Amino acid sequence: MLSGAALSIALVILCCTGFSHAQESASYGRWGFDASGVDRRVNPGDSFFDFANGAWDARTVIPADKARYGTFDALTDKTQARLRAIVEEAAKSGASPDTDVGKIGALYNAFMDEQRIEQLDLAPIAGDLAEILNARSKTDIAVLMGRSKNGFGAGLFNIAVDEDEKDPTRNTLHASQGGLGLPDRDYYLRDAFRDKKTKYRDYVARLLGMVGWAQPQQRADDVVAFETRVAEASWSRAESRDRDKTYNPLTLAELDALAPGFAWSAWLAAADAGGAHSIIVRQKTAFPKLAKIFDETSLETLQAWQAFRVVDQAAPYLSARFVTARFEFRGKALVGQAQEQPRWRRATQLIGSSLGEVVGREYVARHFPADSKAKMEELVDQLKRALRSRIENLSWMTPETKARALEKLALFGVKIGYPDKWRDYTTLKIDPADLVGNVRRATAFRWAYAVAKLDKPVDRAEWSTTPQVVNAYYQPTRNEIVFPAGILQPPFFDPNADMAINYGGIGGVIGHEMTHAFDDQGRKSDGHGVLTDWWQPADAAKFKAEAAKYGAQYDAYAVAPGVNVKGAQTMGENIADLGGVLLALDAYRASLNGAPAPVLDGYTGDQRVFLGWAQVWRTKSRPDALKQQITSDSHSPARFRVDGPLRNVDAWYDAFGVKPGDKLYLKPEDRVRIW
């Protein structure tokens, strides 16, 4: 997946004409690239990110209500402005909350009714807090953890319904470690985040004090000490990526035997998942440690922990004092955000998470032309041909493994724009006078939808995201790539832009998602999505050696003293970035059909592909936000999504005259060559 309203995709015309008279109407510059963002004082071989984006970075001010700002954020803002028009129309329509339009309007009006929200103050969660106070045993706490799937609160363990990795035709229950209120275990265990941990302790005390919890200062100390023990027992994100180690199917009896000290049956029953045939446990060795910590922790600490988690989750929907308290920690203290986002934007985001396909269907009707799917499918086919050629010509892979890789490629599923079947929200009740209740019911609605799939056949028509999101993803258990309508707009794709820029942008994204099928974890599934080892041992060894070399490169990239990129944690995305660039360039060259590429404003075709790639990763982050990304995200910071893969691409050296002595220069034998 890439990170975190499409227009007509005229690729047929672009591939035939290249740079045409339409250049003047390109959204970025004359031919699709914002050349004003280039800093010509920078040697491309020292930092291509700074060369292509340095002037943009120098003039860009991160908006006060954001922790970062870049291409994805700008497109998300554009999309949210379009969604705002949709939801405000619905809010003024007077439609019944029993209708789709009425649900959108009712939820928006509930969020915007600040006077009523202030009057209610903490009353909407008073019942939750009373239940926690009335807990008389740790089994009661386990029950509350389970019930949190239908409302507010948290669990020491997370559960989800998803495809069985070794039988991806059926859905099963998955359980994973949980319990942390900070972004990652590093925040509890590393000196680099000691100040954040101290501020977190103060935040816990503040929220507990605001709801009248007894001894909030002492309980905050207890809560943070409890979570620190949980962090110590938890797997790292890099460890949790390993799809072989995280596939551990157990019966309930086996789970009880593995991790005594936690009321597993009561927890699952309270989460409406007691009927699950089996549970796939992800961090297996962590579970007994976490259950032991739970068993050894006092009831009053567990009560305070659950109370804090309820208030923390509900705070965005409560009175201003709660909204402010949460923002001052999670926005200002954690990531350096100066101001809270406008209320309309927060309302629109809630609608997107609660009624995603309702508002998404209207968004697509207004902003995604009907013929765009077919034109996007053509570009996907071009990238598939490029990947097929690369696999066929790999010098390091045996014929047996090549045949299986080509079979997997041939079986790719492709979804573009929006789902063929829309989700039915009829049973979700939305009340314009009950914001917190709406959030609670929407949470319960989503979980009930998931639980209804448990131990049932997989619906392959279902999407894992909404059509308006600015993103894309690869689903290994389905062996499919998905491109929502939200990402199909400039600068990723512009029908009036030079085709090299489009290949570097949306072509690179398509290649990125395809390469995920063959990254260090995606490669572990076959063409039918089954988790199985289909590699010849010698080929697997060669792949792992190149991946390790690539990971070491990223380990050396730092964003602050003592805060480096984690090569193992970001491995999948880094491999996909390298594959995306290579496939985009191959597909662009093939599209020329032997004709020479035009030169535009002094830039060759190959140069423009690389510039198109660099442009979509323009991002500027606040220092604390960058540190949080390093610890908790599977994606490398934007700078290294440009410089990291390109220094391993031979054609980039040729295109920009990169030579020994340049900071990014790697000897040919040191460049990573995977796909």
User: Quick one: pLDDT at residue 1?
Assistant: 52
Mean pLDDT along residues 456-460: 97
Under the banding of pLDDT at 50, 70 and 90, the label for residue 371 is confident
Q: CB within 8 A of 218, min separation 6: which ones?
A: none
Q: Is the pLDDT of residue 201 over 90?
A: yes
Burial (0-12, 13-18, 19+ Cβ within 10 Å), 49: buried
Distances (CA, A) of 611 to 7, 11, 44, 259, 614: 22, 19, 11, 52, 5
Residue 422: how many CB atoms within 10 A of its CB? 15
324 and 396 fall within a common domain: no
Mean pLDDT computed over every residue of the chain = 95
Q: Is residue 115 part of a domain?
A: no
76-116: per-residue pLDDT in tens? 999 999 999 999 999 999 999 999 999 999 999 999 999 99
User: Quick one: pLDDT at residue 17?
Assistant: 31
Q: Which of 469, 494, 475 is nearest to 364 (CA)?
A: 469
Q: Is the pLDDT of residue 11 over 70?
A: no
Q: Is the pLDDT of residue 462 over 90?
A: yes
SS3 for 136?
A: coil
Q: Is the pLDDT of residue 9 over 50?
A: no
527-581: per-residue pLDDT in tens? 999 999 999 999 999 999 999 999 999 999 999 888 999 999 999 999 999 999 9
Residues above pLDDT 90, as percent of the chain: 93
Question: CATH number of the domain that 244 lies in?
Answer: 1.10.1380.10
Q: Which two three-digit tokens encode residue 254?
A: 């086996």
Q: Residue 260 is part of which domain span?
A: 120-340
Mean pLDDT along residues 477-495: 94
171 and 269 fall within a common domain: yes
Domain end among 309, 340, 371: 340
Under the banding of pLDDT at 50, 70 and 90, the label for residue 369 is confident
User: Quick one: pLDDT at residue 498?
Assistant: 95
Mean pLDDT along residues 648-662: 98
Mean pLDDT along residues 390-405: 97
* Cβ(617)–Cβ(39) below 8 Å: no
Gap between the Cα atoms of 111 and 349, Å rounded: 11
Gap between the Cα atoms of 185 and 667, Å rounded: 37
Residues above pLDDT 70, as percent of the chain: 96
User: Which helix (H) or strand (E) element contains residue 137?
Assistant: none
Q: Which of 232, 288, 243, 242 is nearest to 264 (CA)?
A: 288
Question: CATH number of the domain that 42 lies in?
Answer: 3.40.390.10
590 and 478 fall within a common domain: yes
Mean pLDDT along residues 321-337: 98
Q: Is the pLDDT of residue 6 over 90?
A: no
What single DSSP character describes residue 23?
Answer: G
Q: Tokens 């796939």 label which residue?
A: 280
Q: What type of residue is 70? A: G
70-87: per-residue pLDDT in tens? 999 999 999 999 999 999
The DSSP annotation for 371-411 comes to THHHHHHHHHHHHHHHHHHHHHT-SSS-HHHHHHHHHHHHT
Under the banding of pLDDT at 50, 70 and 90, the label for residue 24 is very low
387 and 305 fall within a common domain: no
SS3 for 160?
A: strand
Under the banding of pLDDT at 50, 70 and 90, the label for residue 376 is confident
Dihedral angle sign, alpha carbons of residues 459, 465, 471, 475: negative
232 and 312 fall within a common domain: yes
Buried b (16+ CB within 10 A) or exposed e, 492-529: bbbbbbbbbbbbbbbbbbbbbbbbbbbbbbbbbbbbeb
618 and 470 fall within a common domain: yes
Mean pLDDT along residues 325-339: 98
Domain end among 286, 306, 340: 340
User: Quick one: pLDDT at residue 375?
Assistant: 78
Q: What is the dihedral of CA 228, 229, 235, 236, to 10 degrees?
A: 20
User: Quick one: pLDDT at residue 16?
Assistant: 30
SS3 breakdown of the chain: % helix, strand, coil, rounded to 5? 55, 10, 35
Mean pLDDT along residues 277-301: 98
379 and 322 fall within a common domain: no
- Whether the predicted model's global pTM rises above the 0.75 cut: yes
Mean pLDDT along residues 15-33: 59
232 and 369 fall within a common domain: no
Q: Is the pLDDT of residue 4 over 80?
A: no
Q: Which of 12, 129, 662 is nearest to 376 (CA)?
A: 12
The answer to which of 44-53, 355-364, 366-375, 476-485 has the lowest mean pLDDT is: 366-375
Mean pLDDT along residues 301-322: 98
What single DSSP character describes residue 603?
Answer: B
Buried b (16+ CB within 10 A) or exposed e, 67-95: bbbbbbbebbebbbebbbebbbebbeeeb
| Number of folded domains that form the chain | 2
User: Quick one: pLDDT at residue 27?
Assistant: 81
Q: Which two three-digit tokens encode residue 185?
A: 């275990």
